Structure 1
Amino acid sequence: MSLLIGYDLNRPGQDYGSLHDAIKALGSWWHQLDSTWIVDTYKTCTQVRDELNKHIDANDELLVVKLSGEGAWHGFTPKGSEWLKEHL
């Protein structure tokens, strides 16, 4: 299943490294927008939220939603577009 992950880390200078590593560990991933990722994973939205909560602060915002399989986009690299076509 493909999940969309979006976040805002609200503390200036916050380290994204551990959060990015945790997202990449979920499965095959796509990341061409600053704070937006799509991952292909067997985990539920709740499981992913709970896992990623370990890597953000209490004042940060996190969104995890299941994708429907339909999408439209513009301006991405051919490689990024192919990943989306394959995983949505």
Structure 2
Amino acid sequence: MATSKIITYDLCKSGKNYDDLYKYLKAYSVWARITESTWFISTDKTCVTIREEIDKIIDSDDRIFVGELTGTAAWRNVICDSDYLKKNL
């Protein structure tokens, strides 16, 4: 069963190419970019699996956090459409 996940990252070196990471995140059928480096996805994959897949894309000194959401959240001025986020959270 698909659950909501939050993914946040820091790509530490300047001049990073985010294209491969964005391509990976946008491959999920339900996704939203919440802030510059925070995304929401819905998937049946575990947090560990997602982290391991992203590890193959980013550098070893970059930071990554993947967590499962409960469905309860609050926000203001997010990049994505608030109604879409509400519907899919």
TM-score in same-fold range (> 0.5): yes
Q: Tell me: CA distance 1:81–1:47, structure 2 relative to 1, closer, same or farther (3 Å).
A: same
* Seq. identity, %: 38
Partner Cα distance (1:32, 1:69) in 2: 15
Segments ≥4 residues shifted beyond 3 Å: none
TM superposition shift of 1:15: 0.4
Q: Which residue of 1 aligns with 2:55?
A: 53
Q: TM-score, normalised by structure 1?
A: 0.90
Q: Which of 28, 41, 50 is 1:39 aligned to?
A: 41
TM superposition shift of 1:26: 3.0
Please list the CA deviations of residues 42-81 of structure 1 after superposition, one character each: whole Å capped at 9, or x if unmatched: 111011001111110000000000001101111247x611
Q: TM-score, normalised by structure 2?
A: 0.89
**Contact kept in structure 2, 1:8 and 1:62, CA below 8 Å:** yes
Gaps of 5+ in 2: none
Instruction: Look up the SS of the partner of 2:81 in the other structure.
Output: helix
How many corresponding residue pairs? 87
**Contact kept in structure 1, 2:10 and 2:62, CA below 8 Å:** yes
Partner Cα distance (1:36, 1:12) in 2: 18
